[in-house]
């Protein structure tokens, strides 16, 4: 019996030795020497990479941002209250990344791509770097296709193309978010996937935007990435990159995407807070010297891909808040120099009841008519010039006692055009209705009407007759103009 037992033991040992697979691994482990305010300083991580994920013994994760000779500065991704000085930190060897999938459509997630809408986990089999390199010059196609926002003032005079980066800039409470959300609402049925990134916003504001998306049926094609005002600065800094990674994933799958960054001023402030805590030297307005690179490497990821890569596109509409209209501040000038144009919203126009309060004179699109369909090019070619001349003449008319007939007609035409550009929130117009609206204004079909008589209403052709007054093609013609009636897909209601 004893002999059998020895043989069995030998057999078991022999099998174990044959199955033994020796693996030699090196783990990069450091120790916490200082922690506080969302920042941890680590010694011993000699082989760590910039942007590498680290894992603390307490379970919290962080990202390496400062690689100094004596220690490494780590920004914490979450609550660091449990981390103690002297605890161990392990480098994962992986750059920060998030899971990506089309299952994110219709969901609200945080900067770590974890759902926060209470609808359960999101299944994703792929992952993508939070900060991946932008498409190269060879991979890009020139911007040529329009991305319609549904706003007459933008689509006619400041057109946006698929793959463009157009800045929305203005003071607080001037309707910047409304312009961006209307652009998302207008993508319904257009095959464009939208990503709305809320950075440092109030929870009530984000909830209101999400509710609007649900009511208008826009959540079906929209992903919301939200980090509220009470979130750690690290997560507010990462939120735009997370949104860009989700949009990029869809872009490389031959889809058209639109991403809204609301807003990059908050991200710059979060990055400034992190940098000052990491003891980086402050520069202009106390921002670190590389804050320009923070925004440039984010916005450069927007592109229109060549046909070899599927012709997908990623259109970026970053929002930047100004103080008292000062566009010469550090962050506004940075982002203006990165983007392909800007839409400037004026507080004076907003207070005067002009919504959207777009200052057409200093707003510009560097893509121009390449991002417009042929009909819009023909109709809207001279509307911006007429509005600019109207603004100049209006300023002159305040000091003039009497104006000649030509100037009076030009002022009247400019007021009518400005009235036609007014639009209520969450009411985007299809491009064919925009063309009809601009055509009726620029060709003089509304010259006989008073400003109070012009009001845009969405109605089908022939739904209701024009009350009390008639359309006129010009001076002396007071009969209905069948050309106008056939062009208009809605009616201009007249009130006397």
Question: Phi/psi at 257 (nearest 5 deg)?
Answer: -130, 150
What's the rounded Cα separation, in Å, for the pair 46 and 24? 19
Q: How far is CA 90 from the centre of its chain?
A: 35
What's the rounded Cα separation, in Å, for the pair 210 and 414? 37
Taking CB atoms within 8 Å and a gap of at least 24, the contacts of 46-51 are 47/91, 48/72, 48/91, 49/95, 51/95, 51/96, 51/131
Length of the chain: 496
- From 94, 279, 284, 366, the catalytic residue: 366
Residue 495 CB contacts under 8 Å (≥ 6 apart), including other chains: 452, 453, 455, 467
Nearest to 320 by CA among 308, 307, 330: 330
Contact call for residues 379 and 442 (beta carbons, < 8 A): yes
Residue 269 CB contacts under 8 Å (≥ 6 apart), including other chains: 200
Q: What is the dihedral of CA 221, 223, 229, 233, to 10 degrees?
A: -150
- Establish whether 418 is a catalytic residue: no
How is residue 356 written in tokens? Answer: 């959207």
Q: Catalytic residue numbers?
A: 366
């Amino acid at each position: 019996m004893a002999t059998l037992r020895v043989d069995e033991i030998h057999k078991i040992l022999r099998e174990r030795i044959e199955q033994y697979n020796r693996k030699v691994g090196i783990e990069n482990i450091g120790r916490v020497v200082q922690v506080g305010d969302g920042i941890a300083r680590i010694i011993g991580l000699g082989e760590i990479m910039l942007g590498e994920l680290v894992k603390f013994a307490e379970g919290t994760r962080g990202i390496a941002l400062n690689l100094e000779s004596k220690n490494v500065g780590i920004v914490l991704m979450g609550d660091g209250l449990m981390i103690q000085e002297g605890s161990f930190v392990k480098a994962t060897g992986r750059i920060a990344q998030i899971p990506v999938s089309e299952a994110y459509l219709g969901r609200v997630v945080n900067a770590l791509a974890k759902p926060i809408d209470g609808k359960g986990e999101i299944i994703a089999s792929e992952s993508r770097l939070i900060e991946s390199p932008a498409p190269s010059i060879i991979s890009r196609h020139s911007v040529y296709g329009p991305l319609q926002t549904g706003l007459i003032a933008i689509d006619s005079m400041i057109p946006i193309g698929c793959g463009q980066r157009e800045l929305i800039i203005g003071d607080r409470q001037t309707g910047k978010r409304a312009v961006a959300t209307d652009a998302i609402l207008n993508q319904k049925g257009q095959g464009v996937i939208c990503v709305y990134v809320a950075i440092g916003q109030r929870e009530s504001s984000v909830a209101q935007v999400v509710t609007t998306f649900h009511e208008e049926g826009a959540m079906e094609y929209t992903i919301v990435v939200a980090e509220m005002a009470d979130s750690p600065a690290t997560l507010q800094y990462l939120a735009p990159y997370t949104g860009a990674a989700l949009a990029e994933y869809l872009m490389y799958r031959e889809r058209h995407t639109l991403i809204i960054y609301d807003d990059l001023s908050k991200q710059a402030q979060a990055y400034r807070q992190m940098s000052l805590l990491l003891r980086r030297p402050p520069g202009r307005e106390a921002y670190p010297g590389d804050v320009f690179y923070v925004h440039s490497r984010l916005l450069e990821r927007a592109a229109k891909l060549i046909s070899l890569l599927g012709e997908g596109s990623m259109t970026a509409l970053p929002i930047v808040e100004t103080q008292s209209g000062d566009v010469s501040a550090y962050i506004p000038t940075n982002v203006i120099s990165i983007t392909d144009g800007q839409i400037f919203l004026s507080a004076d126009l907003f207070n005067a009841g002009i919504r959207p309060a777009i200052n057409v004179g200093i707003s510009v699109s560097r893509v121009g008519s390449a991002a417009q369909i042929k009909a819009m090019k023909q109709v809207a070619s001279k509307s911006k010039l007429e509005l600019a001349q109207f603004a100049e003449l209006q300023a002159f008319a305040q000091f003039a006692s009497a104006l000649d007939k030509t100037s009076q007609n030009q002022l009247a035409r400019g007021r009518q055009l400005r009235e036609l550009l007014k639009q209520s929130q969450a009411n985007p117009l299809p491009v064919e209705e925009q063309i009809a609206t601009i055509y009726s204004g620029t060709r003089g079909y509304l010259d006989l009407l008073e400003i109070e008589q012009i009001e845009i209403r969405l109605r089908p052709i022939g739904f209701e007759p024009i009350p009390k007054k008639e359309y006129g093609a010009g001076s002396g013609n007071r009969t209905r103009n069948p050309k106008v009636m056939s062009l208009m897909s809605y009616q201009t209601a007249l009130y006397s």
